[in-house]
Structure 1
Amino acid sequence: MKTLTLEEAALFLKMHPEVVRGRAKAGIIPGVKAGKRWVFIEDDLVAYLRSEYACRWQALQVGHEEKQLCHSLNVEKRGGSVSPHQAANVLDALLQQKIKPKRRNSMTD
């Protein structure tokens, strides 16, 4: 198992070191900050690259339904959401409801 520094991982991924650092900090790229330095396992970076490649490659396969394996492209929409236009109409109706004014005490001092 080979470990890489931040700079080596950036070269391996063909990214700027600050981009790699930010993505590792966010948990997007697998890595750990051991002490003051980031450490990456080469096998984990290979797996990360392969996972990115699969979805993007399949996204380019427009019209080839049988070859699409990326779950985000095969999702069926199942209701439950309201369109912005419907939400605006409901909000307008609620705002136009008349509120009865409070009765004031008619007694004077």
Structure 2
Amino acid sequence: MQTYTVDEVAQICQCHSQTIREHIKKGRLRACRPGRAYCIKQSDLDDFLRELENTQMQASLKRESEKKCHYINEKAVSGTTILHSQAVKELEAVLTPKIKGRPKSCMTN
């Protein structure tokens, strides 16, 4: 069974050893502490890396989904604005009284 120290895992993950300690403290990376130093098993490291990859993938998919939704919402809003202005013009045309010729003058006695 292969085991690693915090510094070795930090080199593998290309991050600072304190970052690895934070992952251990928050329960994201399983490790045991037989003495003063943490000991990380290969299987626990593999699980951590797999979970980290899944988390990054989910975040990426969420960002892409938000971009697409934002684009669709912008198109819907602009489309609604155009339809709204057309509806207003049509309604004004229907409601505005049609006056042909000159208005009749009032006859006074």
TM-score (norm 2): 0.50
Q: Does 1:18 align with 2:18?
A: yes
In 1, Cα distance between the equivalents of 2:59 and 2:34? 36
In 1, Cα distance between the equivalents of 2:24 and 2:38? 9
From the CA coordinates, give the structure whose radius of gyration is larger.
2
In 2, Cα distance between the equivalents of 1:27 and 1:54? 16
Matches within 5 A, 1:67-82: none
Give the deviation of 1:56 after TM superposition: 2.0
- Aligned alpha-carbon RMSD (Å): 1.6
In 2, Cα distance between the equivalents of 1:26 and 1:55? 15
- What's the secondary structure of 2:39's corresponding residue? strand
Which amino acid in 2 is paired with 1:49?
L
How far does the alpha carbon of each residue in 1:6-56 deviate from its partner, in whole angstroms, 9 at most, with x for none? 111111122211111122123221111111111001221111111121132
In 1, Cα distance between the equivalents of 2:23 and 2:41? 15
Count of paired positions? 63
In structure 2, the residue matched to 1:40 is 40
In 2, Cα distance between the equivalents of 1:5 and 1:24? 12
- What's the secondary structure of 1:32's corresponding residue? coil
- What's the secondary structure of 1:7's corresponding residue? helix
Q: Percent identity?
A: 25
In 2, Cα distance between the equivalents of 1:34 and 1:25? 16
Give the deviation of 1:59 after TM superposition: 3.0
- Structure (1 or 2) with the greater strand fraction: 1
In structure 1, the residue matched to 2:27 is 27
In 1, Cα distance between the equivalents of 2:21 and 2:43? 18
Flag structure 2 segments of 5+ consecutive residues without an equivalent: 66-109
- Structure (1 or 2) with the greater helix fraction: 2
In 1, Cα distance between the equivalents of 2:35 and 2:3? 15
Q: Does 1:7 align with 2:10?
A: no
In 1, Cα distance between the equivalents of 2:20 and 2:10? 6
